[in-house]
Amino acid sequence: MLKLFQDTGRRAFLFADRLANAIFGSKWNPLYHLGTMAFFFFYIVLASGIYIYIFYDTSVVDAYTSVEYMTHEQWYLAGIMRSLHRYASDAMVATMVLHLLRGFFFDRYRGARWFSWTTGIPMLVMVFAIGITGYWLVWDLLGQFVAVRTSEWIDWLPIIAEPTARNFLTNTSVTDLFFRLLVVIHVGLPLMLLGLMLLHVTRLNDAKINPPAGLAIGATVALVVLSLVKPAVSHEAADLSTLPTQLNLDWFYLFIYPLMDRWSMGTVWALVGGGLLLLALLPWMPPKRREPVAVVYPDDCSGCNLCIVDCPYEAIMLEARTGATSAGRYQHLPIAVVDESKCVSCGICTGSCPSSTPFRQTDEIRTGIDMPHKNIQDLHAATREALTKLTGQTKVLVYGCDHGVEMSKVMQAEVAMISLPCTGALPPSFIVYALRQGADGVFLTGCRSGDCFHRLGNDWVDQRITHHRKPYLKRSVPRERVRRYWAATSDHKQLVNEIESFCQSLRDMSPAAATAEAQDVLPGSETRE
């Protein structure tokens, strides 16, 4: 049942991704930047909130008046700031919830990813608490409704001796001191939230907290336009002697309040508490699985640091070498050490290691760091076997990803495939090896660009090929014989068309040019350039 639910949600996201890519392009697709967009909307909320606080009166009598002044008298700046504060807050909730759902549907919350998942839950709770207290501070009829309902909800818990709802029996029972306490909470919680947001990304390598500039500018313009077209306005001033009968709820924050009128307060607590507990336990619920973690081989680890800087989850560190090596090499150099609690079994470290090369003087293929369940020796054997299966006029070897299009769906007479845990686990030297052993071209595919299951795999592949990241693909390798196309599981048709186009481009190459290029790809060109 869980798998069916995840598959359904994943297909919905992939469909939405395709539409967003068509509109914004993959670089600015907001669905690929949900986490960074939540950070960005927080910045807007914080900046606009500081400006609003300058004009806000913290007394019960004048709070509503000061908000009305900002909304109507200084609409051209303070009014826009109030609307930005409101709509950016809504957008932050939307992006956070979508970010959570995407992580769940794409199964990116288990194993070493539990830390990011669980730290995100209190962040979500805190965002709602900040938003709810913000509606109190307007102190209109909606603020009155939220204050009374929240107090009644809290009073259901047997933790407070005196019911808090007594503070809202009459207009005179709400004191300035109580109101200023709300202001302190509303101002203080965002600072705690910022700390949680930074903690949320501490275990991520190359963590992004800012969206692409174009996406940030576009979002800001959209919020400003919305603020001008439909400015945020208040209800009538709060009056505890009357009962509000018609309210315009902000469903992003206040969706739970209508349930308090239909259900008991205990039932609402059970819904909220049970939902949060379920979210917190998800990473440890079945089907629970744990793949083998990366293993370091001291005899072949030179302590070059490449696997450390490439690991998406900072699961590898460099430490002083304590044991002796059989050959005496690297004896006085540091060695890579794997933190098993952080390893996600992506194999990107194997692709980063300059020792990961099929060009060896011995039959045994070894590397400084490897995955025990899908090691470099297996990749070498799979490459040789795949090359023997190529019988067409043009021979293309496809290296793909376990989380992209199913590789068996793209096989044909001219195409053989090999699937890796992540395309980033492919050492560039294997591209040289495949071309040397008879392949006319090497095709690389995996998750969609910007949406790598292991965060950084296809980025590292791109940079290795373009000579922006070690280990480099040798410049002598003809780039027209290497093509990349990043595709999601639903992009089977597009991937097949791209592979066919690649095969055709190889067939169109003149025999003389093909011979000259082939001679450039020599054994040993995999060396550590």
- Give the pLDDT confidence score for residue 526 in this predicted structure: 41
pLDDT for residue 290 is more than 80: no
pLDDT for residue 437 is more than 90: yes
492 CB-contact burial (10 Å; exposed 0-12 / middle 13-18 / buried 19+):
middle
Cβ(456)–Cβ(406) below 8 Å = no
385 CB-contact burial (10 Å; exposed 0-12 / middle 13-18 / buried 19+):
exposed
- Give the pLDDT confidence score for residue 111 in this predicted structure: 87
The C-alpha atoms of residue 87 and residue 89 are separated, in whole angstroms, by 5
Least confident of 170-174, 267-271, 464-468: 170-174
The helix (H) or strand (E) run that includes residue 295 is strand 295-296
Specify whether 154 is located in the same domain as 269. Answer: yes
Specify whether 270 is located in the same domain as 299. Answer: no
Q: For the segment 483-528, what is each residue's pLDDT rounded down to a tens digit?
A: 999 999 889 889 999 999 999 999 998 554 555 555 555 444 343 4
Distance of CA 192 to the CA centre of its chain: 22
- Give the pLDDT confidence score for residue 464 in this predicted structure: 96
- Give the pLDDT confidence score for residue 131 in this predicted structure: 96
- Give the pLDDT confidence score for residue 175 in this predicted structure: 86
Closest CA relative to residue 500, chosen from 415, 401, 406, 426: 415
Specify whether 323 is located in the same domain as 424. Answer: yes
| Within-domain flag for 54 | yes
Specify whether 386 is located in the same domain as 259. Answer: no
Q: For the segment 388-435, what is each residue's pLDDT rounded down to a tens digit?
A: 988 888 999 999 999 988 877 776 778 999 999 999 999 999 999 999
| Within-domain flag for 146 | yes
Q: How far apart are the first and last CA of the chain?
A: 50
Mean pLDDT of 152-161: 86
More confident residue, 160 or 297: 297
Mean pLDDT of 193-201: 95
pLDDT for residue 196 is more than 90: yes
The C-alpha atoms of residue 168 and residue 147 are separated, in whole angstroms, by 8
Q: How many domains does the chain have?
A: 2
| Within-domain flag for 91 | yes
| Within-domain flag for 7 | no
Specify whether 324 is located in the same domain as 443. Answer: yes
Cβ(490)–Cβ(456) below 8 Å = no
Locus of tokens 């006029």: 393
Mean pLDDT of 446-456: 92
pLDDT for residue 1 is more than 80: no
Specify whether 190 is located in the same domain as 89. Answer: yes
Q: For the segment 104-150, what is each residue's pLDDT rounded down to a tens digit?
A: 999 999 988 999 999 999 999 999 999 999 999 999 999 999 999 99
Specify whether 221 is located in the same domain as 93. Answer: yes
Cβ(336)–Cβ(307) below 8 Å = yes
More confident residue, 266 or 286: 266
Q: For the segment 204-246, what is each residue's pLDDT rounded down to a tens digit?
A: 999 999 999 999 999 999 999 999 999 999 999 999 989 888 9
Specify whether 333 is located in the same domain as 276. Answer: no
| Within-domain flag for 486 | yes
Mean pLDDT score of the chain = 90
Specify whether 274 is located in the same domain as 406. Answer: no
Q: For the segment 320-334, what is each residue's pLDDT rounded down to a tens digit?
A: 988 766 666 788 899
User: Phi, psi at residue 47, to the nearest 5°?
Assistant: -65, -45
As a whole-number percent, the residues of the chain with pLDDT over 90 amount to 75
Tokens of 265: 């307060």
| Within-domain flag for 245 | no
Can you give the CATH number for the domain in which 218 is found?
Answer: 1.20.810.10
| Within-domain flag for 384 | yes
Specify whether 441 is located in the same domain as 385. Answer: yes
- Give the pLDDT confidence score for residue 165 in this predicted structure: 81
- Give the pLDDT confidence score for residue 514 in this predicted structure: 52
Domain interval for residue 428: 295-520
- Give the pLDDT confidence score for residue 392 in this predicted structure: 81
Q: For the segment 21-79, what is each residue's pLDDT rounded down to a tens digit?
A: 999 988 899 999 999 999 999 999 999 999 999 999 999 989 999 999 999 999 999 99
Domain boundary among 265, 284, 303: 284
| Within-domain flag for 266 | yes
The C-alpha atoms of residue 341 and residue 327 are separated, in whole angstroms, by 31
Specify whether 276 is located in the same domain as 306. Answer: no
Specify whether 185 is located in the same domain as 267. Answer: yes
